[in-house]
Structure 1
Amino acid sequence: MDAVIGTPAETAGVAPGDRGVAAAAVEALPPECPLAMPEQSLWDAATAPPGKTAPRFLALRRFLVFGATAALTGLGAYEMYEVLKVAGLTVAEGVLLALFVLLFAWIAFSLVSTLIGFVAVLAGPDHTLGIDPDAPLPALSARTAVLLPTYNEDPHRVMARLEAIRESLVETGQGDAFDFFVLSDTTDPNVWILEEAVHRDLVARTGATNVFYRHRADNTARKAGNISEWTTRFGGAYAHMLVLDADSLMTGDTIVRMAAAMERHPSVGLIQTFPVIIDGTTPFARIQQFAGRVYGPLIARGIAWWHGSDSNYWGHNAIIRVAAFAGQAGLPLLPGPKPFGGHILSHDFVEAALMRRGGWGVHMAPGLSGSYEECPPSLTDYAVRDRRWCQGNLQHLGVLPARGLHWLSRLHLLTGIGSYITSPLWLLFLLLGILLSLQAQFIKPEYFPSGFSLFPRWPSVQDPIRAAWVFAGTMGMLILPKILGWITVVARRSERRGCGGVVRSFLGVIFETIVTSLIAPIMMLLQSRSVGEILLGRDAGWNAQQRKAGEAQLAVLARGYGSHVLLGVLLGAAAWAVSAPLLLWMTPVVVGLVLAIPTVAFTASERIGAALRRMGLLLIPEESTPPPILSRVHEIEAAAYGPPAGGDGLLMLRDDPDLLDAHCAMLPAKKPRKRGEVDLPLVVGLAKIDDAESVADASGLLSPSEKLAVLRDHRAVARLMALPADARTTPLADETRTLRPN
Structure 2
Amino acid sequence: MAVSLDTLSSDSNSKVAALGRPESIMPPEKHLDMPTQHLRRWSAEQERKSVRQNPKLGTWLARLFVFGGGLLLTGYGTYEMYQVVSVSRTTALQWVLVALFTVNFSWIAVAFTSALLGFFALLRQPRPAPLPTSLQARTAIVMPVYNEQTSRTYAALEAIYESVEATGLGESFDYFILSDSTNSDAWIAEERAFLDLRERLGPKARFYYRHRAKNHHRKAGNIADFVSRWGGHYEHMLVLDADSLMTGECIVRLAAAMEADPDAGIIQSLPLIINRNTLFARVQQFAARVTGPVIAMGLSVWMGRDGNYWGHNAIIRTRAFAAHGGLPDLKGKPPFGGHILSHDFVEAALLRRAGWDVYMLPDLEGSYEESPPSLIDLSARDRRWCQGNLQHMRVITAKGLKLPTRQHFATGIMSYLASPFWLFQLIVGIALVLQTTYIRPEYFARDFRLYPIWPRFDPERALALFALTMGILLAPKVFGLILMLIRGKDRRASGGGIRLIISSLIEIILSALLAPILMLIQSGSVFQILLGRDTGWQPQRRDDGSIPFKDIVRRHRAHTVLGALAGISAFMIATSLFLWMSPTIIGLLLAIPLSWLSGQLGAGLALKKLGLLMTPEEHQPPTIATRANELQARNAAFGFDDEDSLRAIYSDAKLRERHMEMLPPASPRKRGIIETERALAEAKLVDAETIEDAISWLHSKERMVVLHDRALLNKLVHLKDKPADAQAAE
Normalising by structure 1, report the TM-score: 0.92
RMSD across aligned positions (CA): 1.7
Asked if 1 retains the 8 angstrom alpha-carbon contact of 2:137 and 2:259, the reply is yes
> For 2:114 and 2:218, how far apart are their aligned partners in 1?
33
SS at match of 1:500: coil
Shift of the 593–608 alpha-carbon distance from structure 1 to 2, 3 Å rule, reads same
1:136-535 to 2 correspondence within 5 Å? 136-209=131-204, 210-449=206-445, 453=448, 458-535=453-530
Shift of the 322–598 alpha-carbon distance from structure 1 to 2, 3 Å rule, reads same
Asked if 2 retains the 8 angstrom alpha-carbon contact of 1:518 and 1:592, the reply is yes
> For 2:164 and 2:187, how far apart are their aligned partners in 1?
27
Asked if 1 retains the 8 angstrom alpha-carbon contact of 2:21 and 2:662, the reply is no
Q: After superposition, what is the alpha-carbon deviation per residue over 1:204-224, rounded to whole angstroms, capped at 9, x for unaligned?
A: 111154100111110011000
Larger deviation: 53-62 or 654-663? 53-62
Larger deviation: 412-421 or 483-492? 483-492
The partner residue of 2:562 within 557, 562, 567 is 567
| Structure 2, unaligned runs of 5 or more | 1-19
How much has 1:552 moved relative to structure 2? 3.0
SS at match of 1:37: coil
How much has 1:518 moved relative to structure 2? 0.6
Larger deviation: 316-325 or 204-213? 204-213
Larger deviation: 619-628 or 654-663? 654-663
User: Is 1:721 matched with 2:717?
Assistant: yes
> Corresponding residue for 1:124?
125
> For 2:209 and 2:452, how far apart are their aligned partners in 1?
73
Asked if 1 retains the 8 angstrom alpha-carbon contact of 2:650 and 2:716, the reply is no
Asked if 1 retains the 8 angstrom alpha-carbon contact of 2:561 and 2:589, the reply is yes
SS at match of 2:132: coil
How much has 1:50 moved relative to structure 2? 6.5
Asked if 1 retains the 8 angstrom alpha-carbon contact of 2:21 and 2:661, the reply is no
> For 2:336 and 2:70, how far apart are their aligned partners in 1?
31
Asked if 1 retains the 8 angstrom alpha-carbon contact of 2:156 and 2:244, the reply is yes
How much has 1:140 moved relative to structure 2? 0.4
Q: After superposition, what is the alpha-carbon deviation per residue over 1:290-323, rounded to whole angstroms, capped at 9, x for unaligned?
A: 0000011011111100100000000000000001
> Corresponding residue for 1:634?
629
How much has 1:482 moved relative to structure 2? 1.3
How much has 1:272 moved relative to structure 2? 0.5
Q: After superposition, what is the alpha-carbon deviation per residue over 1:430-475, rounded to whole angstroms, capped at 9, x for unaligned?
A: 01100110111011112224x5656765111111111000111111
> Corresponding residue for 1:74?
75
Asked if 1 retains the 8 angstrom alpha-carbon contact of 2:552 and 2:592, the reply is yes
> Corresponding residue for 2:32?
35
> Corresponding residue for 2:87?
86
SS at match of 2:689: coil
> For 1:697 and 1:556, how far apart are their aligned partners in 2?
33
Asked if 2 retains the 8 angstrom alpha-carbon contact of 1:53 and 1:268, the reply is no
Shift of the 54–384 alpha-carbon distance from structure 1 to 2, 3 Å rule, reads farther
Q: After superposition, what is the alpha-carbon deviation per residue over 1:470-511, rounded to whole angstroms, capped at 9, x for unaligned?
A: 111111112222111111012112211221110111110000
- 1:346 is matched by which residue type in structure 2? S
How much has 1:579 moved relative to structure 2? 2.2
User: Is 1:648 matched with 2:636?
Assistant: no
Asked if 2 retains the 8 angstrom alpha-carbon contact of 1:54 and 1:309, the reply is no
> Corresponding residue for 1:589?
584
- 1:602 is matched by which residue type in structure 2? L
Shift of the 711–729 alpha-carbon distance from structure 1 to 2, 3 Å rule, reads farther
> For 1:424 and 1:469, how far apart are their aligned partners in 2?
25
User: Is 1:556 matched with 2:557?
Assistant: no
SS at match of 2:123: helix
Asked if 1 retains the 8 angstrom alpha-carbon contact of 2:192 and 2:640, the reply is no
> For 1:430 and 1:424, how far apart are their aligned partners in 2?
10
1:15-26 to 2 correspondence within 5 Å? none
Q: After superposition, what is the alpha-carbon deviation per residue over 1:159-210, rounded to whole angstroms, capped at 9, x for unaligned?
A: 0000000111111111111111100000110111011001111111111541
User: Is 1:113 matched with 2:109?
Assistant: no
Larger deviation: 378-387 or 631-640? 631-640
Asked if 1 retains the 8 angstrom alpha-carbon contact of 2:227 and 2:318, the reply is yes
Asked if 1 retains the 8 angstrom alpha-carbon contact of 2:193 and 2:640, the reply is no
> For 2:100 and 2:441, how far apart are their aligned partners in 1?
25
Count of residue pairs the alignment pairs up: 701
> For 2:124 and 2:487, how far apart are their aligned partners in 1?
13
